[in-house]
Amino acid sequence: MAESELKEHRRNLLDLPVELVDEILKDLPPADLRRFAHSSRFCYSFTLSARFKSIILNPVSIEVFRDGGLCARSRDSIRSVHLKGSKTGNSEKNFHELRACIEALGLFPNLKELRLSYRTPKEMEANTYIAVMSRIARYEFCNTLEHLELRVSTKSFANLWPEPWPSVYSRIYSSLSASNQEFIGELVTQIKVEQLIKEKSPKFPALRSASISRHFIPTPLVNPGTRRLQRSEIYYIPLTFAPNIRELTVESGEPHNIMISCNDNQGFSTEILNMFSQITDLKILQSTVPSEEQFERLAERLPNLETLDIRLSDPRKQENRYYGPYPFDKICESRNLKKVTLPWPADYPRNINSNLIIGWVSRWKAAGVSGLNTVMFRDSRYIHHNGTRENVIVSFTTAARGGEWEMVSQPDTHVATSDEEDEG
């Protein structure tokens, strides 16, 4: 065949039907797919759906995914979006970027995971949350969303203390552009916040897991009895419209004295308590070790709990806390637990050996937690003789024969044996 005829019959890969090219690219190793993507601008855009399923949403990436943008054809393939709002001290800039990102979420109809991270003036916190949730409710991905993560940081803009919140709100509001004023809206009084969020919140029929990070948010272990805690309780409300939620992560940096001083007569709403009762997997990051009362409350509020993970945001604050002869004994009130992670009992008054810890764990199982099969203690402890800290991770699992407990230590962990205690 003549060279001219060869050129006439030679076909470019991208001349093939799009569906066929997609099938070919699926079989390419990741390294080859990256090389193909970087061969041209068109190939980079064409392979986006095969290479990426998640993106970080910011002003730059928004333009890439808009109509006519480099990645516009790949919008339907995006399954996860992390919205990272600006966290400067400039409220106008923060709200402008947050508003633009929230509006751009509509470009991705097939989201399974949504992670929101933004900063707001403390005096505008409720209004900001209402603005965000009411706009998300417009998008069709709410029907298929499986994981929702929310990380909120706040900063007070009060000039004097105590400056009335309406006065601070009015001052910040008047400094915003007209578009941001429309986004945030007029001040919503505290008495109307809960009702407005219920009215404007999206419904999440497919949501399975959620994560909330906000300073002072009350965890399921406490009651939001103080006004400061009641203001952050609002972040749970959209989860009450998620009938299939099973996993919940709460990160709170609450001071211990505020949590203990909560008025037990001012608990969570019935809707939030009903949502808690659905949870089977709970992870909490807080500044203090739970009290016996809080473990009892946990059993009452989360009767179906199977996995519990409690960690300390700063273990050093717990050095002088005494846990009693049987640390965390009230955990046995949660009868359906199968896997538990707890803070290391750093200040236990005796040397801790493996048999002692196994005794604690066996005591829980004998008290009624019959399905318990994995227990982990972790965090850190202070080493007195050299003034340093060491990580402590000790895991126990039940053996297949006889249901006896066996210890599995991590490489950076040292737990005293009975012989070492005798030698000391």
Nearest to 247 by CA among 162, 165, 146, 151: 146
The pLDDT of residue 224 is above 70: no
Of the options 3.30.1370, 1.20.1280, 3.40.630, 1.10.150, the CATH number for the domain spanning 12-51:
1.20.1280
Distance from C-alpha of 159 to C-alpha of 90, rounded to nearest angstrom: 16
Reported as a single tens digit per residue, the pLDDT across 124-151 is: 999 999 999 999 999 999 999 999 999 9
Distance from C-alpha of 112 to C-alpha of 78, rounded to nearest angstrom: 9
Contact 229, 168 (CB under 8 A): no
Reported as a single tens digit per residue, the pLDDT across 98-126 is: 999 999 999 999 999 999 999 999 999 99
Better pLDDT: 185 or 325: 185
pTM for the whole structure: 0.82
Question: No. of H helices and E strands in the chain?
Answer: 17, 12
Distance from C-alpha of 388 to C-alpha of 366, rounded to nearest angstrom: 37
Better pLDDT: 193 or 343: 193
Measure the CA angle with vertex 174, ends 216 and 102; round to 5°. 60
Distance from C-alpha of 110 to C-alpha of 133, rounded to nearest angstrom: 18
Better pLDDT: 412 or 93: 93
Strand order of the β-sheet with 113-121 is: 54-57, 80-84, 113-121, 147-155, 209-214, 247-251, 281-286, 307-312, 339-343, 374-383, 388-398, 405-409
pLDDT at 54: 81
Q: Where are the domains of the chain?
A: 12-51, 56-207, 327-424
Which of 278-282, 330-334, 392-396 is the most confident on average? 278-282
